[in-house]
Amino acid sequence: MFDLDGTLTRRDTLLPYLASALGARPRRVLRLWSAPFALAAFALDADRGRLKGRLIRAVLGGLARAEVAALSARFLDRHWSRLFRPEALAALERHRAAGDYLVLLSASTDCYVREIGARLGFDEVVCTELLWRAERLDGALASANRRGAEKTRCLLKLRAERPGVRFAAYGNAASDLEHLARAEAGLLVNGSGRARRAARALGIPTASWR
């Protein structure tokens, strides 16, 4: 199980993705009038999923599936060679060569994460899902935000579907430690100092991938 942002990739992907979409649809920048209100609400409720949905709705809301797919392909085609850490891709290939079942587990959204999973050859992609209405993107979340305890729930669901299978899991954030601790082989990569200290307290090894 590989996390995406900061683990496989050099940085978070959602804001660069939305910036790329605005570059292709510059008139949609006018729809960001609501962004300060979304940020103010986040300061009060700390709900990352709600903030994510509001920003996505502002930038992409109302677009047809084909339009969103084209924006996702544009973003990935332009940034692919710079997105990923070589050592992360090498780890992915070692698991593939060993015949392991590969799962991409990400809090980022399905409008582009599923395409990343397909291009990297993952067997399964579990990510935050977006709401569609009559084949047009609403932008609100249709699933739980796949972060923190929700990643643990996803791991336990996969474990229940595959009894007796050993799990290796990779993540980069303190919020990933809960599900890393549930895997037989969890590894915190590229974590902050605070995350590395917390990982050591839980007996989770750490690494730095370039």
* Spacing of C-alpha 6 from chain mean position: 9
Query: Residue 105 pairs with which residues in a beta bridge?
Result: 126
Distinct helix (H) and strand (E) counts, the chain: 9, 7
Q: How far, in Å, CA of 205 to CA of 200, rounded?
A: 7
Strand, coil or helix: 67? helix
What is the predicted pLDDT for the residue at 47? Answer: 67
Our count of domains for the chain comes to 1
CATH number at residue 35: 3.40.50.1000
What is the predicted pLDDT for the residue at 136? Answer: 95
Structural Rg of the chain based on CA atoms: 17
The domain of 190 spans: 4-207
What is the predicted pLDDT for the residue at 54? Answer: 86
What is the predicted pLDDT for the residue at 105? Answer: 97
- The alpha helices in 61-192, defined as continuous H runs, are 65-83, 86-97, 110-120, 149-161, 177-182
What is the predicted pLDDT for the residue at 175? Answer: 94
Stated pTM of the model: 0.91
Q: What is the mean pLDDT of each run of 10 residues along the chain (210 residues)?
A: 96 93 87 75 74 88 94 95 95 96 96 96 96 92 93 95 93 96 96 94 95
Q: State both tokens at 14.
A: 């959602």
